[in-house]
Structure 1
């Protein structure tokens, strides 16, 4: 027997002795030796379990960075794919649809929408590798996204919005409320705003949204009044639209903006109802209920599809009755 056969014989004898401690190892070795002598045996490295995921993730992240994706998006990819590598220890070309199903199925306590987002990251990753011919087949191609639970987005009514406005104690807080509501911007978008982004002639502002895509949003006259009041009272030279109240003045963090909104909401008695994203929902709901076209609201919110906009906003019963009465042909 060659070296590979001798190695196999030795390992099999040890395994047999572990299973049956009283067995005569000499007889087992002799019997197995006669059987194995009939075969040609080679040692094959188990490349399938020598993971090259980290290497391929670096390739993917580099390519997406060149495409111009934001750092926040790249960091999100790194986190999600990093979690995946902790569960899957295979070469990417050996990863199957079953592996991914098992991985997603092991994620307990998560909402279907969260699992769907994780699958989307894997789709993007493996789709890229397949397109670049790094792998022969995309294991996510046959996977269907999980059915998401239908939820009505939370939003404030007009009375609650006015309660927030009246509960602001500083001009900066009032500017927060007005900008978040009037533009429907995401928290990260407001965080990234600079004073130079404002177009005072048409009361608009340039926003960099998801996917590093730029869009224009608009301020109401009320928003412009409170924003100008806040900016004119500042004595700093920081470029950020919203800054810290103490020196050294710098761009206010996302957490800082959230904390301010929560302070206002708590003072208004709406602590558990309000967040920056709730104000975004409120913008979508109230504008649609006031007769705005769905496509226009979709563009203002920076959504790629109208279905997303519909999830953000819900039409009130009063509005439905009004529309039924107005447009029903009788």
Structure 2
């Protein structure tokens, strides 16, 4: 990356922070046209203690142009800024021991999965720096992800699901339970759904999931019934499918959706932690037990890797016990 290209990326990054709706590709073309007959030269600096944060802004601008989500950019910024504050040296001199020491410090009180996410962020950052020739070598290349133990996730069975439904006290609660379970949507996807997104003719809607990927999901006739009952009680003009019960009836937030599910589950009184993602997992598990294909569940859940779906939709212990008694006891 030459100085002109570096300036364009930096400029787009800075301007986009002030004007998020700006057409970044068009701005890039205009900047290149304006600089066509010019060569930008870097300012000479004597003792640079650390340029990690400066490189981070260029990296974030590049990722923003590539279409990274605001949440992903925020996480990148958080981790790299922390790394910059702990490793005060020019980025070209950062070595594998610096990264290991940073990970060791970050490991205190954190889960192994969190450490893997931190390492993934650093690998992406330094891999990009190496590709753009800011650094001679990638210090994270030899570092491996922590191998995590595979845990079977316990879903609700049919009886527990019915009891959870019976624990709903309001039509909004029931509509929320039915919608999350029948669509298998992530809580963030539920948060973004608007009323106009729903196609009541074929009980479907399009949602945008991880990686900004759009997919079509479906809801059951039972979910349709309770959603329509819930919408009939609404007197507000908020476009969101689920809104707060109190004025001014704004969009129901992610944390509020989680609290609603927790509140319903508290009435159920079972020895399981019930939360929105468990309903998504229950949808996959019960679907597989009823004969749905793994590829169908993968598409509905929006998984790019079939292995992820396999973890969500493991065979239930009841099925395993039944087949063991049927085929293995002689």
Q: Please, what TM-score do these two structures have when normalized by structure 2?
A: 0.80
1:119 aligned residue: 119
1:320, distance to aligned residue in structure 2 (A) = 3.8
1:304, distance to aligned residue in structure 2 (A) = 1.6
1:201, distance to aligned residue in structure 2 (A) = 2.0
2:145 aligned residue: 145
Supply the distance in 1 between the matched residues of 2:122 and 2:196 (Cα, whole angstroms).
Answer: 38
Supply the distance in 2 between the matched residues of 1:293 and 1:102 (Cα, whole angstroms).
Answer: 45
Structure 2: runs of 5 or more not aligned: 1-45
Supply the distance in 1 between the matched residues of 2:272 and 2:90 (Cα, whole angstroms).
Answer: 46
1:192, distance to aligned residue in structure 2 (A) = 0.9
Task: Compare 123-132 and 167-176 and name the one that shifted more.
Answer: 123-132
Distance 1:324 1:268, change over 3 A: closer
Q: SS in structure 2 opposite 1:134?
A: coil
Supply the distance in 2 between the matched residues of 1:158 and 1:254 (Cα, whole angstroms).
Answer: 26
Alpha-carbon contact 1:265-1:271 (below 8 Å) kept: no
Alpha-carbon contact 1:60-1:125 (below 8 Å) kept: yes
Structure 1: runs of 5 or more not aligned: 1-44
Q: Please, what TM-score do these two structures have when normalized by structure 1?
A: 0.80
Supply the distance in 1 between the matched residues of 2:139 and 2:236 (Cα, whole angstroms).
Answer: 54
Supply the distance in 2 between the matched residues of 1:234 and 1:185 (Cα, whole angstroms).
Answer: 23
2:29 aligned residue: none
CA displacement, residues 180-227 of structure 1 (integer Å, 9 cap, x when unaligned):
111111111111111121122221111111111111111011111111
Q: SS in structure 1 opposite 2:264?
A: helix
1:322, distance to aligned residue in structure 2 (A) = 6.5
Alpha-carbon contact 1:113-1:149 (below 8 Å) kept: no
2:194 aligned residue: 194
Number of aligned residues: 282
1:41 aligned residue: none
Q: SS in structure 2 opposite 1:251?
A: coil
User: How much is the aligned-residue C-alpha RMSD, in angstroms?
Assistant: 2.2
- Report matched runs for 1:23-62 at 5 Å: 47=48, 50-62=49-61
Supply the distance in 2 between the matched residues of 1:323 and 1:304 (Cα, whole angstroms).
Answer: 30
1:126, distance to aligned residue in structure 2 (A) = 1.4
Structure whose CA Rg is larger:
1
2:70 aligned residue: 71
